[in-house]
Amino acid sequence: MSEHGFLRMRTVFIILALCFLGVVGALVIGIFVTEPTVKVGSKSFTESVILAEMATQLVEGTGESVKHRRGIGGTRLLWTALVGGKVDVYPDYTGTISDEILGDNTLRNEDAIREALAKHGIRMSQPLGFNNTYAMGMKKPVAARLGISKVSDLVRNPKLKFGFTNEFMNRGDGWPSLKARYRLPQQNVVGIEHVLAYQALESGTLDATDLYSTDAEIRKYDLQVLEDDLHHFPPYYAVLLYRADLADRAPEGMKALLRMEGLISAEEMQKLNARTTVDQVRESEVAADFLNQKLGQLAVARRESGWRRLLVNTLDHLLLVAVSLTAAIVAAVPLGILAARRPVLGQGLLAAAGIVQTVPSLALLVFMVVLLDGEIGAKPAIIALFLYSLLPIVRNTHSGLNDISPQVRESAAALGLPPTAQLILVELPMASRSILAGIKTSAVINVGYATLGGLIGAGGYGQPIIEGLRRWDPKDVFLQGVLPAAVMALVVQGMFELLERAVVPKGLRLKPAE
């Protein structure tokens, strides 16, 4: 074996060893990291986050270890996490519980709801003090011009454009049943993020959207709340849903949580929402100020500087990218080799990896949460990112090996090299540029897709993007989320360029003469 061949082989083994150690290290960290005693969840809208922050700070005041998993998608996602034990408590609403979670719109009595929840090992607190019912809203000038004051008036205006939150578009007490109950003729209906719907109303892009009755934006944008004259929407009293075993695991924390019962009026909740969405005060500070005022206890908001938040989000994002990409390299390179050596099997492998790539990223994330029995956070995000990273590496490894001329293989065989030595000393070095190009593509894609992990509590740059959109703070979205993700993608690409110079034989890096 030549000295150059030995050095190339050693480089390949070092890379594979580092990949293996990265995966093993990540698994060890995942196994031994201590879980908090109480895990609080919240949905991806301001009010839910504020209520969950109150719950978190009350538990924290008892000395229990607690973690708030912020903005975890919609109702079904959080309910699955609660039943699966990945979340211990989160705020919800009685109408949502009966219609959407339990699927029984006849359940209007709180005792009946509690009895149904108990079958799932879940308990419900007394109402927190306010009813945040669904409603429909329009800009007052538009409503006045069209003579619309109640939902049934919409029947006379079939060409109106509606934009509803994506959850409202599909839930049992949302648009499908509302449309059927009022026999609404509108066909121009789109799904949109709640905060963006208000911007669309303001600009005239939308004519009507769904509201929460405690939304601060109702006053901010001077909206007309349409009367639910057929009484379609049930009461939505805010409550806490929690696991039945929480009182045994954290008795003092449970007592602290129940101090929220009857604590907040509808007017107070609307003001709290306004402090976040209008005054741009963080939810943790809003919650702490309210608790100190109402309960006289010293609740302390977790205030972080912009640089501190950027560092934390960067480390979280790096974890998601590094672990998923490392696992993908370890799995995809051998699969690419197998695909090149076994053409029939190879087509099946490439097709399977291609099918995964066509699955919408958000759908794949939700599927991973369900598959892992309600697990939220980094684990399902890493698995989804791993699956998304496979195709470019498998495909480029396969094509790189297939592009090697038969004469080269014949020469290697003539030298008496066995198949494994041919692969390590000749074929992989010659295909290394193609393989690294696939890894580089996967890495850049991975950095971008990792931002979606914020939707399931995985942290990273997706977290400030989601929070910034919720508070309508474009500056935070850009500086804390979009720009750092773009910079990380460029840095990752640059690192693989340097790795290419170190690994790819110099002769293969020469540009053809023009």
For position 25, what pLDDT does the model report?
Answer: 56
For residues 182 and 282, which has the higher predicted lDDT (pLDDT)?
Answer: 182
Joined together, the tokens standing for residue 359 give 């699955």
Q: Which of 481, 427, 173 is nearest to 314 (CA)?
A: 481
Rounded distance between C-alpha atoms, residue 259 and residue 262, angstroms: 8
- Contact at 8 Å (CB) between 47 and 269? yes
- The encoded tokens of residue 155 equal 């029947």
d(CA 341, CA 289): 65
Residue 513 has pLDDT above 60, yes or no: no
**Three-class SS of residue 28?**
helix
Most confident region among 101-105, 163-167, 268-272, 279-283 by mean pLDDT = 268-272
Q: What is the chain's length?
A: 514
% of the chain with per-residue pLDDT over 70: 89
Domain 3-31+305-509 has CATH 3.60.21.10: no
Which of 11-25, 31-45, 452-466, 492-506 is the most confident on average? 452-466
**Which two three-digit tokens encode residue 443?**
């890495």
Question: Which of 82-91, 397-406, 417-426, 500-509 shows the lowest per-residue confidence on average (mean pLDDT)?
Answer: 500-509
List Cα–Cα distances, 124 to 36, 121, 127, 133, 257, in angstroms: 22, 10, 9, 18, 11
The pLDDT value recorded for residue 303 is 66
Inform me whether the pLDDT recorded for 503 exceeds 80: no
Beta strands in 82-222 (DSSP E): 89-93, 122-124, 134-139, 162-164, 189-191, 208-212
Are 217 and 198 in contact by the 8 Å Cβ rule? The answer is yes
What dihedral angle (degrees, nearest 10) is formed by the CA atoms of 251, 255, 258, 259?
A: -160
- Mean of the per-residue pLDDT values of the chain: 85
**467: nearest Cα among 44, 54, 81:** 44
Tokens representing 227 are 């009367």
Range(s) within the chain of domains with CATH label 1.10.3720.10? 3-31+305-509
Mean pLDDT throughout 461-466?
Answer: 84
Residue ranges of the chain that CATH labels 3.40.190.120: 134-226
pLDDT, one tens digit per residue, over 312-325 is 889 889 989 989 99
Q: Where are the beta strands (DSSP E) in 94-148?
A: 122-124, 134-139
Q: Give the integer Cα–Cα distance in Å for 421 and 200.
A: 63
Please say whether the beta carbons of 40 and 87 come within 8 A.
yes
Contact 87/39 with Cβ under 8 angstroms?
yes
Residue 246: pLDDT over 70: yes
Residue with tokens 């977790």: 302
Amino acid at position 489, single letter: A
How far CA 249 is from CA of 48, 244, 422, 431, in Å, comes to 24, 10, 59, 56
pLDDT reported for residue 30: 52
pLDDT at 6 over 50: no
Average pLDDT over every residue of 35-57? 91
Calpha distance 418→109 (Å, rounded): 76
Single out the residue of 497, 419, 470, 369 nearest to residue 80, CA to CA: 369
Q: What percent of the chain has pLDDT over 90?
A: 42
Most confident of 56-60, 215-219, 424-428: 56-60
What CA–CA distance (Å, rounded) separates 372 from 75? Answer: 17
This prediction's pTM: 0.78
List, in sequence order, every beta strand (DSSP E) within 221-346.
223-226, 238-243
Concatenate the DSSP letters of all residues of 116-170 into one string. Answer: HHHTTTEEEPPP-S-B--EEEEEEHHHHHHHT--BGGGGGG-TT--EEE-HHHHH
Q: pLDDT tens digits, residue range 396-425?
A: 999 988 888 888 777 777 777 787 787 877
What tens digit of pLDDT does each residue of 109-129 get? 899 999 999 999 999 999 999
pLDDT at 390 over 80: yes
CB 436 within 8 A of CB 509: no
Cβ–Cβ < 8 Å for 213, 73? no
DSSP 213: T
Q: Where does 38-129+237-295 sit in CATH, by number?
A: 3.40.190.10
Average pLDDT over residues 88-99: 93
Strand, coil or helix: 43: coil
User: Rounded to whole angstroms, how far apart are CA atoms 304 and 463?
Assistant: 14
127, 262 Cβ separation under 8 angstroms: yes
| Cα Rg, the chain, nearest whole Å | 27
Architecture of domain 134-226: 3-Layer(aba) Sandwich (3.40)
Q: Which residue has the tokens 């009461």?
A: 235
At 352, the amino acid letter reads: A
The two tokens of residue 410 are 């014949």
Domain limits, CATH 3.40.190.10, in the chain: 38-129+237-295
78, 36, 85: which is closest to 250 by C-alpha? 36
Token pair of 468, please?
């910034």
Structure tokens at 513: 């003469």
pLDDT of residue 12: 53
